Amino acid sequence: MSASGGGPPTASGSAGVAVADTDRDVFIDALPASMRIEASARWATHGARLASIWRRLYAGRSDTGQLVALLQGVAAAAAARPEDLRALDRARSAAPGWFQTQGMIGYSTYVDRFADDLRGVAARVPYLQSLGVRYLHLLPFQAARQGDNDGGFAVRDYDAVEPTLGSAADLDALTARLRAADISLCADLVLNHTADDHAWALAARSGDACYRAFYHVFPDRELPDRHARTLREVFPLTAPGNFTHVDGLGWVWTTFYPYQWDLDWSNPDVFCAMALTLLRMANRGIEILRLDSAAYLWKREGTDSRNQPETHAILQMLRALVALAAPAVLLKAEAIVPSRELPPYFGDGAAAGRECHLAYHSTLMAATWAALAEQRGDILTHVVGQTPALPQHCAWVNYVRCHDDIGWQVLATEAAGYDPPAPFSLARIARFYAGEEPGSYARGRNFQHLSAGVAYGSNGMAAALAGIDAALANADAPALRLAERRLLLLYGIAMAAAGMPLIYMGDELALGNDVAFADDPGHTAEGRWLQRPRMDWMLAASAESETGGAADATVASRVLAGLRRLITVRRATPALAADVPMRAIKADSRALFSLARGDDFVALFNLGATPVAVPALPGCAGRSAHDLLADTTATWPTTLAPYDMRWWSVR
Ligand code: OTU
């Protein structure tokens, strides 16, 4: 049952509970002798922490035996880790900033939409290499629920590959292939919920009390109604409410779809089961775990049950056990929450740098789209100004689009206005991207509802939102050139900002909306399939064979060439490594956004539809610079065409 009442314990600090030496002994004794020296060193930093957080979080709910079983399980996972991955552990422990280089470019895609199955993905590794990709996020490929499964986010078996996508052997072959190509595989670990046909859920249904306690199950509506007063809805239209009645069981907490049952992380058995699941995935060669819906793990009455301190405690324990048993592995928080709630996912206070290595900068992403619609670079100046420097060996994930909607609510605070007060209307921005505002070039659609002036989210591929689909439909060449520039501008921002940039499949070819998605009976009701098209390999081949600048070049080849240019320049620019701090430079024109990295990189982006004259190098008057994208010497005054950008190396 969910925790409620009482003050939240803090996730950090070492208050109170003494950690017995026996915790260490339990862990070390369970390891083969050859591993003990290395493990002792890791224990000193991470093991004691894990045990002390555990004791604080699960005080009163667990006995010593459970912690012993967990530590033995972690030791068994460490011992079972294949030798090649252990070598990776050693290499990365010696260079913990390995993922922060400016050469880390990510790519995110569904397996089936990209290449039918895991073998197909392996065959496309050369394509990924040609883009400079160094980490590949494959959306859920674990055995999914039969029937509707939220694009795989309703997992039936964490340890099995979805049969339609391949076998365990295919996954092993893929991870080996990717590692040989210096590409890290990132996979989802859906932490918040399982499918309702997961073995645990089936056991709960059939009356097993132990597994019923894996979920939040209520006999009647009393507690659900109390929680509901302060909960929000993630899918208000397609999955209203947060609880689902299950015959013979009662009311089950279902934050997302009714068939996605929220796990009860206040039950230490759930922690143990999921923690060991994580380590098994790590031992399969998955190098980055995308912790899906990380914000929702702990429920507290009177709150929206997001971002609770206990959620951070749980993530810190997961981090500690990764550090003990699979230190090469990175944890990436998927928390689509307001900007002030994001930095804690890296750990704060005494726990700084001890939670996730990575987190999506969902606010910067949404702000980029807002800035484009409003033609206001100052929105980005503000968001970057509010983005704190991160603890060592932590990085943002910067992106333009993903498989989900662009959720506008993460910008609610920013939209309400700041200093100087200049609010913006999220509802208007949503209408803009749905093509419902005068002068809109966008061909997106609203996600869920847009009622009483409240914006929810926007669907659509980046190319469609940036105007490419409309320009192609109207055979309007000048509009097409502007739209291409917008798409590259968005990627120019994501690639210049501090963090690891992620390309969403198809954006490199300006792939448009999948307007036929509703013809698939399984997808009709889910608008997010608009941005989940199939990869167009014919287009990829033709874009490759054309030269970007040629008169007969297509939009795909021009966008591909433009994106490659950004990647190539980024790779050659040390100031763009993830750990070089970023700062925004206040620009004279409201349409401009100026971003500096370190002391020798400045970028300028024109979010507006009119040219802007720039009298001098922003923030560095008197210094000279090289125009990195054009590879020319920069001169001033200069004019930024509509939606144009510059990346300068300052001397
Ligand atoms: C995540 O999403 C996934 O990215 C979605 O594809 C899944 O449907 C969902 O979890 C459930 O597994 O808020 O932090 O469009 O941004 O559902 C978790 C809304 C999430 C998504 C939201 C999201």
Known catalytic residue at 355: no
Residue 20: per-residue pLDDT: 55
For residues 546 and 553, the answer to whether their CB atoms sit within 8 Å is yes
DSSP state, residue 332: E
Task: Return the best residue to mutate from 113, 293, 408 for the ligand 1 pocket (most ligand atoms within 8 A of CB).
Answer: 293
Query: pTM above the 0.85 mark?
Result: yes
Which of 117, 150, 188, 292 is flagged as catalytic? Answer: 292
Q: Is residue 193 scored above 80 in pLDDT? A: yes
pLDDT tens, residue by residue, 44-89: 989 999 999 999 999 989 888 999 999 999 999 999 999 999 999 9
Catalytic residue among 334, 374, 405, 469: 334
Give the ligand 1 atom nearest the CA of 256.
11
* Average pLDDT for the chain: 94
Using 50, 70 and 90 to split pLDDT, how confident is the model at 237? confident
Q: How many angstroms separate the alpha carbon of residue 69 from the centre of ligand 1? A: 32
pLDDT on residue 622: 83
pLDDT of residue 300: 98
Q: Using one digit for the tens of pLDDT, what is the confidence trace for 214-224?
A: 999 999 999 99
Q: Is the dihedral of CA 591, 423, 386, 492 positive or negative?
A: negative
Q: Summarize pLDDT for 94-105 with one digit per residue, the tens.
A: 999 999 999 999
pLDDT in tens, 19-40: 557 999 999 999 999 999 999 9
Query: Please, which residues have CB within 8 angstroms of residue 83's CB and are 6 or more apart in sequence?
Result: none
pLDDT at 358 over 90: yes
- Percentage of the residues of the chain whose pLDDT score is greater than 70: 95
The DSSP 8-state label assigned to residue 151 in this structure reads: G
pLDDT tens column, 269-327: 999 999 999 999 999 999 999 999 999 999 999 999 999 999 999 999 999 999 999 99
Question: Which pLDDT does position 586 carry in this prediction?
Answer: 93
According to the model, what pLDDT value does residue 454 have?
77
Residue 7: per-residue pLDDT: 42
pLDDT tens column, 380-404: 999 999 999 999 999 999 999 999 9
Given the CA of residue 404, which atom of ligand 1 is nearest to it? 15
Name the token pair of 366: 């949404």
For the chain, how far is it from start to end, CA to CA, in angstroms?
61
As a whole number, mean pLDDT of residues 254-262 equals 98
| CA distance to 214, 256, 258, 278, per residue, from 203 (Å) | 10, 21, 17, 22
Q: Is 404 labeled as catalytic in the residue annotation?
A: no
Residue 6: what pLDDT? 38
Domain boundaries, the chain: 582-650
Share of residues in the chain with pLDDT > 90 (%): 89
Say which CATH topology domain 582-650 has.
Immunoglobulin-like (2.60.40)
Tell me, what's the pLDDT at 450? Answer: 60
Which residues approach ligand 1 with their CB closer than 6 A? Answer: 150-151, 153, 190, 234, 256, 292-293, 295, 334-336, 403-405, 407, 457
> What does the pLDDT average to over 505-520?
96
CA-closest candidate to residue 531, choices 467, 462, 470, 461: 461
CB atoms within 10 A of CB 215: 24
Type of residue at 65: G
Residue 151 CA, chain-centre distance (Å), reads: 16
* Coil/strand/helix, residue 651: coil
Answer whether residue 605 shows pLDDT above 50: yes
